Every structure is written in C-alpha cells, then in structure tokens.
Structure 1
Amino acid sequence: MSEVNLNEVLEYVYEHIPITEHLGAKLEYYDGSELEVSAPLEANINHRNSAFGGSMSAIGILSGWALLFIKMRELGLASKLVIQSSQFQFLEPVVTDFVARSSLPDSHLYQRFLKILARKGKARIRVESSVYDLNGILCGTHTGEYVAILL
C-alpha cells in the first residue's frame, strides 16, 4: 500500500476536472476511510447569497470520487473512475464556506467491491457524502454510485 499526497491528488483533480479549481475545491483531510473536501462560499455564491445548489452537489460528488481515487492509488490499482448516478438532498441553505465529508461504506461492502473489481475488471460502489457549513450544520447529503474500471 502506498501513501498518497493530497496536494498531488488535488493537482491531478484540477488538471482532469477543471471545474473543481473554479469551485475552489481543496482536499482538507484524509484518514484512510474518510475524506473532507472544502469549498469557499465566494466562488460558489448564488443570487440569494447562499451556495449554488450545483456547487454543493459537485463538491459532494467530488468528495466521493476523490475518496475512491485515493483508495485505488493506495492499492496500486490503475483504474478509470466515473460516477454512474447521483442524488443530492438539500436540507439547509449554505451561507458560509462549506465542506463535504465522504466515508467508505462498511468493510463488507468495500471488500466485495474490491473482489468484484479484481475478478471482473469492473465494479460499482455507493459512497455517501454529507455537506456541512462552517457552523457544523448539515446542509445536504449526497449519494453517488461510482464505477471503477481497471486499466
């Protein structure tokens, strides 16, 4: 298992998913099973002085995608990783900078994903993210179905 540098991952993300740089996305925290991605309100503000819903959704998607991307790198697996389906629930307006926290699913589901990926070269997994404002208020939840394809 190799250690992953978040700054290198962020450079990769900016290069291959340019909108993330425009959103001001930053990879803030990673502990092996959870990733936190932040975004400034200023770059994502709407006409109501709150975060644009599309930005909230994009940061939620990114947190799940980046978590899986990092896990694939740690395991030394070259893969193409895409989102297949996405659902976002808006709970509260975001009026501060915000973060999306994603977590790996339980160990059984994650290990099943890896076994299928090894056997078939393609697997899908559901990753959930929660979007919080800087006051710790839960403002939205994202559920994404991601697909990994070994290269």
Structure 2
Amino acid sequence: MKDKQQIEQYLYQAIPLAQAMAVRVVAAEEGRVELEAPLEPNINHCATVFGGSAAAVATLAGWLLVYRTLQALGLRGQVMVRRSQMDYQKTMHGAFTARTLPVNEAAWQRMAAALSKGRMARLTLVVNVECAGQQAGRLEGEFVVLPLS
C-alpha cells in the first residue's frame, strides 16, 4: 500500500470508526503519519471538536505508523494500543490534524528484534494534535505488537 487512498481504504476497513469520523490520510510515509478530520462528524455540544474524537484520531495516527513501519520492515504482527494519555491544550473549532513525532531508530530495532524472536514488542510514541496551525493536544501512547502464530 503506497498510495494515500489505498491506505485510507485499508484504515476504513480495519477500523470502521475512521470512516465514520471522516479521517483523511494526509501523509503516511517512512517514519511519519499525518491524519486530518473535519469538525462536523466530530463535533460536541459546544460546537467544538469532541475530546474523544481528537484522542481517537491521534491513536489512529500512532497505530497506522506502527502498522506501516512493520510493513516496511517486512514484519507481521497484531498492532494494539496498550496505554495512552491525551493532554488537551486548546479548544478546537474546526478541522484538526494528528501528526506522529519521530521515533528513535533504536526503538524500532528493539521492536523488530522482539518480533523476530516471537515475542511481544512494545513501542512508545507521541502524536501532536493541531487545529488552525496551533498545537491543541498531545497523545503519548504505548503500542504493542503481538507476533502472529
């Protein structure tokens, strides 16, 4: 899957909530994922972005980064969220993005080594959430990859 549209379709199939939230893939390249979502399907009673939607899109960005990196490394496994913490910094009044921050190469190597030994791999990453060009939130998540039997 190299094309953004193909990646988006896979995301909709694998995690149907992504389609309901109208998530769009802005970038999904080596070491970086950026997703965008509009206000309308993610709106709350105050006419701002629902906090759960912001956390979900940030989690999707992290999940997709791990999934795509596994593909690039020729590895297979089941990607799951183990733990996450979302900090909200500003109210969002419109479309918003979730962008993964770079992950240390050594962390990817540890993940690959664990999977190659048939063990569960762990990876912590950070995703920034922005609205109107300003940081509005930050998710720190621990993702695990379970080896396929």
The TM-score normalised by the length of structure 1 is 0.92
Q: Is 1:69 aligned to residue 87 of structure 2? A: no
Equivalent residue, structure 1, for 2:10: 12
Equivalent residue, structure 2, for 1:48: 46
Equivalent residue, structure 2, for 1:31: 29
**Partner AA of 2:108 in structure 1:** Y
CA distance in structure 2 between the aligned counterparts of 1:4 and 1:150, rounded to whole angstroms: 24
**Partner AA of 1:8 in structure 2:** Q
| Residue 149 of structure 1: how far off its partner (Å) | 1.5
**Partner AA of 1:142 in structure 2:** L
Contact 1:77 1:150 in 2 (8 A): no
1:125 corresponds, among 123, 126, 143, to: 123
Aligned residues between the structures: 148
**Per-residue Cα deviation, 1:93-142 (whole angstroms, up to 9, x for no partner):** 01110000013421122212221221233201001100000x21100000
Equivalent residue, structure 2, for 1:146: 143
Contact 2:130 2:136 in 1 (8 A): yes
**Partner AA of 2:57 in structure 1:** I
Contact 1:4 1:70 in 2 (8 A): no
CA distance in structure 2 between the aligned counterparts of 1:109 and 1:97, rounded to whole angstroms: 32
Equivalent residue, structure 2, for 1:90: 88
Which consecutive segments of 4 or more residues in structure 1 shift more than 3 A?
none
Runs of at least 5 residues in structure 1 that lack an aligned partner in the other structure: none
**Per-residue Cα deviation, 1:47-106 (whole angstroms, up to 9, x for no partner):** 111100000000010000001111111222221111011110010001110000013421
The TM-score normalised by the length of structure 2 is 0.93
CA distance in structure 2 between the aligned counterparts of 1:109 and 1:29, rounded to whole angstroms: 22
CA distance in structure 2 between the aligned counterparts of 1:103 and 1:66, rounded to whole angstroms: 13
Contact 1:9 1:70 in 2 (8 A): no
**Partner AA of 1:22 in structure 2:** A
What is the identity percentage for the equivalent residue pairs of Structure 1 and Structure 2? 28
